[in-house]
Amino acid sequence: MNSNNIRVIAVTGMPGSGKSVFAEHATELGYHIVVMGDVVRAKVVEEGFEPTPERSQKMMIKLREEMGEEAISQLTCETIDKMIKEGKKNIIIDGIRSQAEVLHFQEHLGKDFVMVAIHVDPSLRYERLRLRGRKDAPTTEEEFKKRDISELKLGLGETIAFSNYIITNNKTLDDFRILSLDLLNELEKGDNE
């Protein structure tokens, strides 16, 4: 590891790409997960509402209007700082969307921060989202495309493009687990060289 033994890996990708699955694989190597959406949902609950996808989206927009485009990353850094004080050294950030967020994490975390993007063919993402069965899952291809456009308007495409690493998740869960663990082990090994 680097000099202070801290590693923070942000994982990004379009909806249904496997960000949460990557994060779960990282826990096998001792990583702790911070979900940026949880920060937003917590704010919705603070205001006394049920954290539905619609309310969470509105809250994210409201926070960005009040605090700037990097609002969610600022709040997430507060959570990360607490985790580090508790002795948690390896952290995965799930849900980064914009370059403003990336820049905030880079400034706050410096060399300890790395970006990993996950790519999946759109037709496969659509099927995975439908099969996942969440409340916010698209029921039609039109809904799926609208959601993608909404995510891209937030800056997700640029964030994916400027990631330090990109891995593809077009095969089985086992294949993706191997790719995920290989990359995480490569990052660990790189620290020790």
Domain edges within the chain: 7-183
Predicted confidence at residue 1, as pLDDT, reads 31
pTM of the model: 0.86
Query: Which phi-psi region, left, alpha or beta, contains residue 84 (left: φ > 0; alpha: ψ -120 to 50)?
Result: alpha
pLDDT single digits (tens) 66-89? 999 899 999 999 999 999 999 998
Confidence of residue 188 (pLDDT cuts 50, 70, 90): confident
pLDDT single digits (tens) 135-177? 778 889 999 999 899 889 878 999 999 999 999 999 999 999 9
Task: Return the H-helix or E-strand segment holding 11.
Answer: strand 7-13
Predicted confidence at residue 9, as pLDDT, reads 96
In this structure, what token pair is assigned to residue 131? 């099969």
pLDDT at 3 over 80: no
Predicted confidence at residue 153, as pLDDT, reads 86
Beta strands in 36-193 (DSSP E): 90-94, 113-119, 165-168
pLDDT at 2 over 90: no
Give the CA-trace dihedral at 122, 128, 129, 135, to 10 degrees: 180
- Domain 7-183: give its CATH code: 3.40.50.300
Predicted confidence at residue 102, as pLDDT, reads 93
pLDDT single digits (tens) 92-115? 999 898 899 999 999 999 998 999
Predicted confidence at residue 54, as pLDDT, reads 83
Task: Return the H-helix or E-strand segment holding 7.
Answer: strand 7-13
Confidence of residue 186 (pLDDT cuts 50, 70, 90): very high
129 class by beta-carbon count within 10 Å (0-12 exposed, 13-18 middle, 19+ buried): buried
Predicted confidence at residue 191, as pLDDT, reads 60
Residue 14 DSSP symbol:
S
pLDDT at 192 over 80: no
Predicted confidence at residue 4, as pLDDT, reads 56
pLDDT single digits (tens) 18-57? 999 999 999 999 999 999 989 999 999 999 999 887 898 8
CA pair distance 183, 160, nearest whole angstrom: 16
